[in-house]
Amino acid sequence: MKNKNLLKIFIVLFLVIITSCNSTNKTTEEALKNEINMELKKMLSEGFIAGEISFSETKGDCPITIKIEDKEGIYYYDPINLTEEFNKEGEKIWFTFARLRRVNRCEKAAPISIMEIQKRN
């Protein structure tokens, strides 16, 4: 009888501990999502665009482009002044730019000059 009561208490305590751990994880995930949404709103309101550095070895492609994904689809920019700090495949960035009136160096990407750039979380 005494062992059954101890077992019941142990099970209840175990369930309480597991439940509280999950709620902490959910709170952390929600806080992270809120932080990302706040960053997104702030950067977009300041005129930044979200992009990702993309490399290509395909003939006719620019070796390095910035890939943009939005509601209109996927498109690419050819940054003429990308610094070494951001020259990493898959690097997620925020950037502002100026379009350039010059001949494209590759077919799929329009040439741009980066005005501001920073890493994205």
- One domain for residues 51 and 104: yes
> How many domains does the chain divide into?
2
Q: What is the CATH number of the domain that holds 53?
A: 2.40.50
pLDDT at 89: 94
Query: Regarding predicted confidence, which is higher, 73 or 107?
Result: 73
Kindly write down the DSSP assignment for every residue of the chain, as one continuous string.
Answer: -HHHHHHHHHHHHHHHHHHHHHHHHHHHHHHHHHHHHHHHHHHHHTT-EEEEEEE--STTS-SEEEEEEETTEEEEEEETT--GGG-STT-EEEEEEEE--S--SSSSEEEEEEEEEEE--
Structure tokens given for 9: 């208490």
- One domain for residues 75 and 113: yes
- One domain for residues 70 and 97: yes
pLDDT digit string (tens) for 110-120? 999 999 999 98
- One domain for residues 97 and 69: yes
- One domain for residues 13 and 3: yes
- One domain for residues 60 and 31: no
- One domain for residues 37 and 90: no
Last residue of a domain, one of 46, 64, 83: 46
Domain range enclosing 94: 47-119
> Given CA atoms 65, 70, 72, 74 in this order, what sign does their dihedral have?
positive
pLDDT digit string (tens) for 58-77? 888 899 999 999 888 999 99
Burial of 66 (0-12, 13-18, 19+ CB in 10 A): buried
- One domain for residues 70 and 111: yes
pLDDT at 49: 93
Residues 101-108 have a mean pLDDT of 86
pLDDT at 82: 93
- One domain for residues 28 and 51: no
Burial of 33 (0-12, 13-18, 19+ CB in 10 A): exposed
pLDDT at 45: 87
pLDDT digit string (tens) for 25-37? 567 788 778 877 8
Q: How confident is the model at residue 108 (pLDDT cuts 50, 70, 90)?
A: confident
pLDDT digit string (tens) for 2-27? 666 666 776 766 666 666 655 555 67
pLDDT at 31: 79
